[in-house]
Amino acid sequence: MTRREFLRATGSLPAARLAAQGSARPNVLFIVVDDLDCRIGCYGDQVAKTPNIDRLAARGVRFERAYCQYPLCNPTRSSVLSGRYPLSTGVLDNNTWLVLEPGQQILPRYFESQGYQTAEFGKIWHAQNRGHVRGEPPPRVPAPANGRAQAWFTPEDRAAQQQREPAYWDSVHSPYRNMQPPEPWNYAWANVYGPLPAGDPGVDAPIADRAIASLEKMASSGKPFFLSVGFHRPHVPLTAPAKYFDLFDAASMPLPPDFDTEPRALPGMPRDEFRQNIDLFAARGFSAQEAREAMRAYYACSAYMDAQLGRVLERLDALQLRENTIVVLWGDHGWHLSEKGMWAKGTLFETSARGPMILSDPRRAKAKSSPRVVQYIDLFPTLTDLCGLPSPPWLDGVSLRPLLDNPSAAWDRPAYTVQTRNWFIGRSVRDERWRYTEWDQGRRGSALFDHDNDPHEMRNLAADPKHAEVVRRMRELLRAPRPNGQPRPSA
């Protein structure tokens, strides 16, 4: 076909569609939502109003058992973006830079090196962290605009801390962990929930605006794109335009079976499993009515975020890019809404470690759910695999492509999550039935939960002689090799 014949045949197609057809590699729309758990319509929640996430799930595969590697913003994002476990990155709190080894790249930069155009809008990283390569100076951190002090630890800080007790520190503890819990009054900004003043569009609407403008620009360039969009809500403060609050009634919010009015250690469970509340109800108890009002605010913020997501997806469709764009959506970890008296993240309970993950590849299964246990760390190798790119050698995860081809395919890989509590590290492993957790390698306690019979994790079976064999097997999984052959999957 001559150039003139090609132009005549395609003259009625929009430029964006021509660009998509001219690209042998699919585009990627990479969406991360802050503090979004599985209280979503397509995950079976009867209260949620999330029609756009639900429609996205109808285009692809919804992973029912997807787990973060650390239930906190900075560590989990650093893990996904680097493709490495948190105890490999050393990022175990919100105050630490991701330091890459020479030759390593974060996910968007790797796609960029493979010929993709990239753009990032909203909260992809936590705060000022953007990652940097070891041996290169980290970016300078400007003074925070909100006046809240932030301490950012560098490799030099790590070396100084390790001088305390190097061997034990390296093998067991985070060299970055802050020793003192934050004071409640420093989190007054977070302990807020309710409608925004009239005319305030909220924090996520401008992010959607910029993402749409970038989408339109990149769609006409003729090159494949990797567009990252990070939405803030439902992260605290739980505020959104009033119309989203009008969708819900606080009085009808169902309290969870393990509801409590404050966090308190349950008999037979390690105390380190529990954390103080900071994001909501800091340093005080709360009533059932207050809990329902805060739950209403969480659902309202999720509905608001969903509407902004819908705007981006609608523009993707209008540009006729759907058939050549992989869309992945994930929440960076789970979130307690009064379960066991706790709010927010930061525990190794299922509520905090499990989150939503939906992957829509127009070339593969649609409207399917996968019951298999997967990890967020698998996103990096999955996207490179689906886009036909070489798999980087530093990745700790594996491609989920077999589960996209057959969501119920055999899959025997567990998921690993870690959490620090003051000096100590908790390490948790999840298979399709059991969750097993050890604190300080078991010295500060362990927990075993049977999710077939105890989905709310209310009975610790770790000390039950009847389950000694299960404990032995799960303990072995904590020490099993990584998929790439390196020792200790979460270390």
Residue 435: φ, ψ to 5°: -120, 130
Q: Greater confidence, 180 or 225? A: 225
Asked if residue 114 has pLDDT above 90, the reply is yes
Percent share of the chain, pLDDT over 70 = 82
DSSP string, 5-64: HHHHHHTTS-HHHHHHHH-SSPEEEEEEETT--S-SGGGT-SS---HHHHHHHHTSEEEE
Q: Greater confidence, 138 or 178? A: 138
- pTM score: 0.87
Q: Can you tell me the mean pLDDT for 95-107? A: 89
Q: In this structure, are residues 34 and 233 in contact, taking their beta carbons and an 8 Å threshold?
A: yes
Q: How confident is the model at residue 170 (pLDDT cuts 50, 70, 90)?
A: very low
pLDDT, tens digit (0-9, with 9 covering 90-100), for 350-387 = 999 999 999 999 999 899 999 999 999 999 999 999 99
What pLDDT was estimated at residue 377?
97
What pLDDT was estimated at residue 155?
41
What pLDDT was estimated at residue 87?
87
Out of 252-261, 340-349, 414-423, 429-438, which region has the weakest mean confidence (pLDDT)?
Answer: 414-423
Question: How distant, in Å, are the alpha carbons of 1, 238, 318, 426, 431 from that of 9?
Answer: 10, 52, 21, 61, 53
Task: State which amino acid sits at residue 480.
Answer: A
Asked if residue 148 has pLDDT above 50, the reply is no
Asked if residue 142 has pLDDT above 70, the reply is no
Asked if residue 189 has pLDDT above 70, the reply is yes
pLDDT, tens digit (0-9, with 9 covering 90-100), for 19-73 = 443 357 999 999 999 999 999 999 999 999 999 999 999 999 999 999 999 999 9
Asked if residue 99 has pLDDT above 90, the reply is no
C-alpha span between 137 and 154 (Å, rounded)? 10
Q: In this structure, are residues 350 and 435 in contact, taking their beta carbons and an 8 Å threshold?
A: yes
Asked if residue 463 has pLDDT above 60, the reply is yes
**Considering Cα of 193, then 194, then 195, then 196, what sign does the dihedral take?**
negative
Asked if residue 132 has pLDDT above 90, the reply is no
110 Cβ partners below 8 Å, 6+ apart?
Answer: 380, 384, 389, 392
Mind listing the domains of the chain with CATH numbers? 25-137+165-416 (3.40.720.10)
375 Cβ partners below 8 Å, 6+ apart?
Answer: 66, 67, 68, 69, 397, 413, 415, 416
Q: How confident is the model at residue 456 (pLDDT cuts 50, 70, 90)?
A: very high
Q: How confident is the model at residue 17 (pLDDT cuts 50, 70, 90)?
A: very low
pLDDT, tens digit (0-9, with 9 covering 90-100), for 195-207 = 999 999 999 999 9
Cis peptide before 237 (omega within 30 of 0): yes
Average pLDDT, the chain: 86
What pLDDT was estimated at residue 254?
97
Asked if residue 158 has pLDDT above 50, the reply is no
C-alpha span between 12 and 62 (Å, rounded)? 36
Q: In this structure, are residues 30 and 224 in contact, taking their beta carbons and an 8 Å threshold?
A: no
Asked if residue 316 has pLDDT above 80, the reply is yes
What pLDDT was estimated at residue 410?
96
Query: For 305-330, b where at least 16 C-beta lie within 10 A, e where not — what string?
Result: bbbbbbbbbebbeebbbbebbbbbbb
What pLDDT was estimated at residue 365?
84
Query: Across 134-143, 164-173, 256-265, which has the greatest mean pLDDT?
Result: 256-265
Asked if residue 15 has pLDDT above 60, the reply is no
Percent share of the chain, pLDDT over 90 = 71
Asked if residue 248 has pLDDT above 90, the reply is yes
What pLDDT was estimated at residue 134?
67
What pLDDT was estimated at residue 19?
40
Q: How confident is the model at residue 423 (pLDDT cuts 50, 70, 90)?
A: confident
Q: Can you tell me the mean pLDDT for 241-248? A: 98
Asked if residue 175 has pLDDT above 70, the reply is no
Beta bridge partners of 27: 325
Q: How far apart are the first and last CA of the chain?
A: 56
Asked if residue 298 has pLDDT above 80, the reply is yes
C-alpha span between 246 and 156 (Å, rounded)? 51
